[in-house]
A and B are shown apart, each in its own frame.
Chain A
């Protein structure tokens, strides 16, 4: 968005907020623009597209609930018309005793903007073509190879009585996939994905990993079904991140607690694991998939310790939950797009690192599984169940990785059992993953995956 257009939009938003105030109502305004250029290229097909999801949302607090109006039109006339409609609606609400919203009254006028990578499509498509060819040549079992590049820019403006904030965050995702066919005719895939500020940065990381991909293809060809049961596991950073996310990530969302849907609300201040267990949500991690500097309630990004020294600590929250649960600052209000509701959402959620090298954790395992890849998970904040599925793993025997592989299995169990069995974590710490997180089965927002390696003494795989 050009500077002059942005300034005019902010002026219109300020007029809407003032009109609300003149009528004794709190009004806030969000502009959210998500632009994406996607390049998907395999050895048979090429697909390049541009997407633009842009609009505004205005909210008014009638003393009991938010009345919201969203539009893909955002000229001043539309903004003022929507504001007037909302004020009329709020006046009609029969609220006898208005509840005061818990608003952060610190005045903030700030813009955080990162330079966009100049998109050289010709270079990107030619590079993907070259690397697809390299993947195909790695092994005769590879039937096709695909490169996926998502170049995204998210721009956001929030205005209320106290805040006038703007952020522009470019982000690049690269996924390289090799499709293989086993001698039995089964189709499988091997992939690596990276997230950073630029395509080039991701490509450099893939170049480092390329020599290992042949081994990964061979391992996938040998992979067999894992016999269900309890195992000692070493989780790679991607998996540790998923565990943080599905366990005390979703379980510590205040809007879930408000609806009596999170068991963790009964355990606030209680110890659930060893002293070294710290789970954090921190949006302001530069170049990571869940990066932002202001949430969609205008709150400045801050680190929230969900679990500190093994004790369940502070929930993440949005404005509505803060108001109803009397919680302090947290920067976790997010909406999927401009025409969606704000919910309490995670950003970059991870276990903090430990002090030992990961190899020391590996060497301590007599018989277990190193789990390196996964396709996703599902939360159960009320029942404290965990599901992390589509995993790929390698057997560990006598402290060494052996030539035995498993795929397509799921990690599950009762959360306190899993957390209680966490034995150690590594000093190595990597956040590379770029996933999308749903609230249940919808409301997708970008989050990252990663953290340290983690040794768990006993967990159910099947």
Chain B
């Protein structure tokens, strides 16, 4: 390449340029997030053969600059990759200054290294990384673990298969990553952490002698690659896939509906959006007049049974969703949003905290929901274990989700079903519900293992 390559000196060059602009007061603040992310991914197809193995390394600098006048503040971010040249960096900074002039918001003050909220002596940075995963990444030995797991899966599946019902692993993906992030700001905040994460997806098929087939997909963000209960995960999937072979089409139903397993997790912590009662605790939504929540008021009106106590806890050890600080450098802490159905706090970045005159809360992290009173199994009603996809409207709380696997319960006897729609409004359903005494911890969630709604509705296929 003919252009001058910076690469190793790139980080110093960016910081020198930004420092110069700061001294000339052309910018009021800068932030650099220096990120390196490595992946080691394995893709397995049927008959336990590996389809592909992918290794990658992604290095990037995410730079934010801000300019301010007496009343407003402008902000712009851009991403630099190793291939960017000195000329590219100069152009990116020039563009960012122009964007700052176009993107003006109400003025707020920056967090500095002297602020109490950035102090992090309470945080154990080792709780975000497993040293064995790090070593295996460095030694290129993760594949040995995967190969061992595949052999384990093979023997469990063989053990669970019978002459009547054959179980097959149709696909598996195990994606592992190791990320290092460093935050540097013009206000002298310097912090860094390393984090490992993993994702497992398994697709199983059950085939009966008659040729009838059913499929079950399990996907899970794994908190700890080496201590995760793979066997329990697989055996649970096999039970479900065998049940799915005999699933019937459900009729419409109104009454007691209990969510268990991934359905319960999806309800509290949906994959693609936020649950409405959490979204309404967002300082951003409050500021934008999209939430009516007020401190000390009730989160759910007309509560008849269990009341919600909800916290955000980014310090849950070895939880994939945990993180030690936010983009402003504010240290993680557990914050209770809703206490016994009373709205206690809004989660807030530095910007929105100042707009609303409240304290910033740092990173969100996993949701922690207090256990409830439910301990008995459903005797009569509907139990739902898996949705196709649960995506509620985070503003209105309306939802309607197709059931992948559920059970019709009569006199304690369970009949599996597939299809139909669990429908309703989250705020309304939570008025009359019970949360289980038993709790689980998954990525992004620690809370009840089940939730029972007394006024649930299922639209059937009849």
Contacts and interface: CB of A to CB of B under 8 A. Distances in A.
Contacts of B213: 382
B103 A125 contact: yes
Given A72-B60, A72-B81, A188-B395, A228 B457 contact: yes
A48 B103 contact: yes
A389 B288 contact: no
B78 A50 contact: yes
A259 B46 contact: yes
B56 interface: yes
Tell me if B's interface is mostly helix, strand, loop or mixed.
strand
A64 interface: yes
Closest 7 pairs between A and B when the two form their complex, measured CB to CB: A462-B459, A228-B459, A408-B398, A70-B56, A410-B400, A378-B389, A339-B56
A387 B395 contact: no
Nearest to A124: B102
Given A54-B81, A260-B168, A408 B400 contact: yes
A4 interface: yes
Nearest to B423: A462
28 contacts: A46-B105, A50-B78, A50-B99, A55-B56, A66-B51, A67-B53, A73-B7, A73-B57, A76-B1, A121-B99, A125-B103, A188-B393, A260-B170, A261-B203, A340-B54, A380-B402, A382-B214, A387-B402, A390-B393, A408-B398, A408-B399, A408-B400, A409-B423, A412-B420, A413-B419, A414-B419, A441-B271, A462-B420
Interface stretch (B37-45, B223-231, B304-312): B37-45
Contacts of B421: 228, 410, 412, 460, 462
Nearest to A390: B393
Interface stretch (A13-21, A179-187, A196-204): A179-187
Interface residues of A, number: 82
A65 B50 CA distance: 7
B3 interface: yes
A46 B75 CA distance: 9
Contacts of B102: 46, 48, 121-122, 125
B372 to A, nearest CB: 26
A387 B389 contact: yes
Nearest to A462: B459
Contact of B56 (A71, A229, A258, A386): A71
Contacts of B96: 50
A57 B46 CA distance: 25
A225 B79 CA distance: 44
Contacts of A407: 396, 398
A340 B177 CA distance: 12
Nearest to B271: A441
Contacts of B413: none
B174 to A, nearest CB: 12
A5 B76 contact: no
Given A68-B54, A73-B82, A186 B457 contact: no
B58 A55 contact: yes
A312 B81 CA distance: 45
A14 to B, nearest CB: 15
Interface in B208-238: 213-215, 217, 219
A139 to B, nearest CB: 15
Nearest to B244: A383
A188 B394 CA distance: 9
B201 interface: yes
A380 B388 contact: yes
Given A54-B81, A339-B39, A412-B421, A261 B58 contact: no
B228 to A, nearest CB: 18
Contacts of B391: 375-376, 389-390
Interface in A41-84: 41-42, 44-55, 57, 59, 64-76
A435 interface: no
Contacts of B52: 59, 65-68, 320, 341
A219 to B, nearest CB: 15
Contacts of A51: 79
A8 interface: yes
B98 interface: yes
A75 B76 CA distance: 28
Nearest to B3: A5
A188 to B, nearest CB: 5
B414 interface: no
Contact of A55 (B78, B81, B103): B81
Q: Give the interface size bracket for B toward A.
A: 35 or more
B357 to A, nearest CB: 15
Given A66-B52, A67-B52, A143 B290 contact: yes
A57 B57 CA distance: 10
Nearest to B177: A339
B430 interface: no
A380 B76 CA distance: 41
Given A72-B58, A440-B219, A408 B396 contact: yes
Nearest to A188: B396
Given A70-B58, A440-B201, 7 more contacts: A50-B77, A51-B79, A70-B55, A70-B56, A71-B56, A385-B402, A389-B391
A290 B182 CA distance: 36
Interface string A363-403: 00000000000011110101101110110000000000000
A378 B402 CA distance: 9
Nearest to B104: A46
B288 A45 contact: yes
A410 B400 CA distance: 6
A143 B418 CA distance: 41
Contacts of A229: 252, 459
Contacts of A389: 389, 391, 399-401
A189 interface: yes
Interface string B93-121: 00110110011110000000000000000
Interface string A322-350: 00000000000000001111000000000
Interface in A132-166: 143-144
B138 interface: no
Contacts of A189: 395
A187 B45 contact: no
Contacts of B2: 4, 8
A181 B290 CA distance: 8
B401 A341 contact: no
B16 interface: no
A382 B217 CA distance: 11
Given A46-B105, A412-B419, A440-B201, A341 B170 contact: no
B57 A71 contact: yes
A88 B421 CA distance: 52
Interface in B393-447: 393, 395-396, 398-402, 404, 418-421, 423, 425
Nearest to B457: A228
B461 interface: yes
A41 B103 CA distance: 9
A413 B83 contact: no
A350 to B, nearest CB: 22
A386 B419 CA distance: 9
B367 to A, nearest CB: 18
B53 A65 contact: yes
